[in-house]
Amino acid sequence: MLTLSFLCVFAFLAGLIDAAVGGGGLIQIPALFNALPTVSVPTLFGTNKMASAMGTLSAARSYLRRVRIPWRLVLPAAAAAFAMSFVGAAAVSLIPAWVMRPLVLVLLVLMAVYTWRKKDLGAVHKPVQIGRRELLIGVAIGGAIGFYDGLFGPGTGSFLMFLFVRFFAFDFLHASASAKVVNLSTNIAALSFFIPSGNVLFFYALPMAGFNIAGAMAGSYLAMRKGAGFVRILFLLLVSVLILKLAYEMLR
């Protein structure tokens, strides 16, 4: 029971952070590896996805009540992300992590610097008109992020938020809400592999899902109450942690 309690505490924290700015896996996955050292890696990832998918669903529902999501753009992006996450998962053995880490690290640094220097980036919600060009960009973003999530994963929510802000002039709050819908599709795609293959420990996953949902409700409430400026600060903090984590793994 001590192990389960430990995992549930971290599931709550992961749900809270993930609902606001993404990156809950930074908290939940290391907790699983620490608490269940003898369990296989695919099963740990499957258990994580089961818990985080429930939290993402809860966060998406909370945002839907208060934030207007441009479904004409987000749904095609989510569909592309769903499909390409399978392709990314299949390519895991072809592109090792040591190749991905330096590339992702550079992208995260560029993204952090760009967001820091552009003080007004994501501060005001003035979305562009959604035409054919924007739809194609949305599908490309969804496909690329879906592939990345299936292949490697860290920072998926952060990349999605940044791209929605950069290309469609969303504020960080609306970008976070839209990212949750796309992220949910990649989680469902992953679970459609992990559950049938028996890589989910339901004894841990279901209680963790409950605490992840509670954290997601708290995180989405904070994000909507505090607004885009608060989410922007959290976003920069999370990206900074991601940069330090990846740099540490490369040096080690």
| Average confidence (pLDDT) over 99-108 | 82
Q: Which of 31-40, 57-66, 213-222, 225-234 has the lowest mean pLDDT?
A: 225-234
- The domains of the chain are located at 2-251
pLDDT number for residue 97: 67
pLDDT band at 151, cuts 50/70/90? confident
- Taking the model in full, what pTM does it have? 0.84
Amino acid 218 reads A
Work out the average pLDDT over 224-245.
86
Length of the chain: 252
Q: What is the pLDDT of residues 43-65, one digit of tens each?
A: 888 899 899 999 999 999 999 88
